[in-house]
Structures are given as C-alpha cells and as structure tokens.
C-alpha cells in the first residue's frame, strides 16, 4: 500500500491499470477497509511486487471451510468463535472476494487468542 503514495498515476490511470474504476481507487484510498484481497494482488502485480503471500493466503482460505467441516462440531464452533467468522461466511467470501478488513479481524482475533 505504501507504493500507492509514491505512484505517479492518478486515480483514473491506476484504476485502468488494475481493473478498477477511478472512483473505486479514490474510495479505497480514503477508506482502506474497502480493499479486497484480489485488489491487493492486482496492485502488487502492477507494482512488480511478489504476489506469493496473496496466492498462498487465497489457497489457505479456499481450503479452510472444508477443513472446518472435517472436525467435530464443538471444535468447529470453537474455531469459528476464535476466527470471528462462520463456515458459511468463509464460503461466501471465497465465492465473492475477501474484504481486507475481515482478514485483519481474523488476524487480530488469532493474535489475541
């Protein structure tokens, strides 16, 4: 995200480069919680930064609902409480896109657990 501050492109040009509207870029600059995981990956690719972390995170998130369904219901509920997200929500975000704010909430919850 620090590359955004150094970027010489205006919001419209950056939006075209990463597949978003200029208005979406403006909104996300003002409200960083609006960024999605796929946006971050496209930004990294645009700025020639490694996307390995995004790719690995996406794969782990895709596998998580199935892994949670394999464990006992009690353990699953305990894990859902720790993650602050239910299996249905995980599946929904995997189908659409992960808001960065939700990933940060999960990270904070696990860090504080």
CA–CA separation, 18 and 42 (whole Å): 6
Q: What would the pLDDT profile of 60-108 be if each residue is shown by its tens digit? A: 999 999 999 999 999 999 999 999 999 999 999 999 999 999 999 999 9
Domain ranges of the chain: 2-52, 53-112
Q: What would the pLDDT profile of 26-68 be if each residue is shown by its tens digit? A: 999 889 889 999 999 998 998 899 999 999 999 999 999 999 9
């Amino acid at each position: 995200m620090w590359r955004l501050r150094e970027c010489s492109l205006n919001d419209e040009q950056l939006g075209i480069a990463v597949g978003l509207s200029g208005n979406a870029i403006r909104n996300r600059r003002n409200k960083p919680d609006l960024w999605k995981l796929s946006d971050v990956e496209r930004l990294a690719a645009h700025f020639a930064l490694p996307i390995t972390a995004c790719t690995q995170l996406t794969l782990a998130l895709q596998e998580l609902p199935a892994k949670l369904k394999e464990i006992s219901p009690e353990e699953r509920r305990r894990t859902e409480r720790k993650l602050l997200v239910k299996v249905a929500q995980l599946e929904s975000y995997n189908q659409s896109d992960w808001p960065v704010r939700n990933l940060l909430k999960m990270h904070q919850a696990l860090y504080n657990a």
